[in-house]
Structure 1
Amino acid sequence: MTRTHGASITAVVLALLFAGGAVTFASAEREEAPAASATPASDSADAGFARDMSVHHQQAVEMSFIVRDRTQDEEVRRLAYDIANTQANQRGMMLGWLDMWGLPKVVSGAEPMAWMGASGHHGASGHGETGDAADPADTALMPGMATKSELERLRKASGKEAEILYLQLMTDHHKGGVHMAQGCVEKCSVVLERNLAQGMVDAQESEITLMTELLRKRGATPRG
C-alpha cells in the first residue's frame, strides 16, 4: 500500500467517525430539547398571541404613517417612524412563526384575545375597548385599539391637533399592547416568543413615558 493510498483511507475513516459523532451529538440535542419547542396548537396562547398582536401592531403602523403625513414636528415624526419600523418587524416575525408552525393567520369565529382567558378584555385603557358605545359598529377590535371614527379624526387632523390625537391614541394602544404582551409572558410556552413579548412590555412602557412628556409639552395629557 502506498503512502498516498494509506493517507486517503485514514482521511475517509476520520470523516466517517466525525460524521457519526455529529449525528450522535445532533440526536442528543434533539432528545434534550424542551417540550416547549414543539409546534404549538392552533388554540394555544402562543398562536393566539401571534395572531392578535399582529393585528394590534398593524394598526399602530397605520396610525404612525398617518401622523407622519399630518405634521412636520420632528419629535413626533421620529417617534412615529420608530414605532412603525419596530412593530412592522415584530409583526413579520410573528406571522413567520405562524407559517413555520403551519397554523392559520386568521381563525374564523375566534374571539380576539380569548387565549388570555378572563383577563382578555380587562386591564387595558378604557378608551378604544370593545363594549358599549354610541354606535355599536364603531368599536375597537381589541383593548387599546382605535375605533374607525378615531382613525378618521386622525386622518383629518393636522399640526398640533394631529400630534396630540396621535400621542393619545398611541398611548391607549400601547397600554392595550402591554396588557396583551404580559399575558404572553405568563402563558406562552415558546421561549423566543415570551422573550419578544417581554421586550414589547419594556419598550412600550418606556414609550408611554415619552409620549406623556410629549403631550405635556403640548399642553395635553393622556386620555385615561
Structure 2
Amino acid sequence: MKRRVVNLFIILSMLFGLFQTTIANYPISVGPFLGLKGGVNAADVPWQNYNGFAFSNLPEMGISSYFPFVQNASFGGGLNLTYSTDGFLMSYKDGVHPEKKTTHQYNFFSISPYLYASGFILGLNIALPIGGTQEINSETTDVSSDLLATMFEIKLGGVITVYANEYGRFNIMIEGSYALSGMLKDDYKGNDGSYYNYHPGQMWFGINYMFNLQKPLETE
C-alpha cells in the first residue's frame, strides 16, 4: 500500500508538471488556496481490517507564499499555512457479523515549507493536531487532540499557472502527501496482538491566486 501511494504521487505530479510552460521566475508573492482532499490510511492494519478511501469533510484551505531564489530560472521556495483535514475509511469484516465501517476525519494546522522548480513542488508538512471525529455506522464520536500526535508528512505536487499578469497569477494545483510519522500519539493494539498506527496518504486538487508583492522578474 505504501509503495502504491508513493508511486501514484510521483506519477501524477510529473504529469501535472509537464503542463507548466512558464519559464521565467515569479516575484515574491502571497495568496489563498482552496481545494478538495481525500485519501487512505497507507499503513498496515490488523487482521480482518481493510483500508478504504474517503473524502475529507472540510476543504483544504490556507495561505501560500513564494520567494524566488534566482532570477532567470523557475526555482524558488515558500511556506504554506493550512487548515487541513485528513479523511480515510477503515472497515472490519469477519465473515460472521455485519461489516463495520469507520470514517476517520482528523483536523490539523499545517506549517509547510517547500521547494518549487518549473511547476514541481517538494515539501514537508508539520501537522499540529486540532481534533477529529470517527463515524461508525452513522454514529459520530469526537476525538480529542490529546490522542493525536504531531505528524511529519512529505509532500509532492505540481502547479499549472493558468493566467498571470503584473498583479499576480491564477494557478491550478495538485499535491499528494504521506505521513512519515504516526497520526496517533500511542499505537493501538490490533486483534492479532500487534501494534499499529495510522499513516495517512492524502491527495488534494485545488485552485490558488498569488498576489505579487513586487514587480514581475525580468529575464535577460
Q: TM-score, normalised by structure 1?
A: 0.24
More strand by share: 2
Greater RCO, CA 8 A, separation 6+:
2
More helix by percentage? 1
**Larger Rg, first or second structure (1 or 2):** 1
Q: TM-score, normalised by structure 2?
A: 0.24
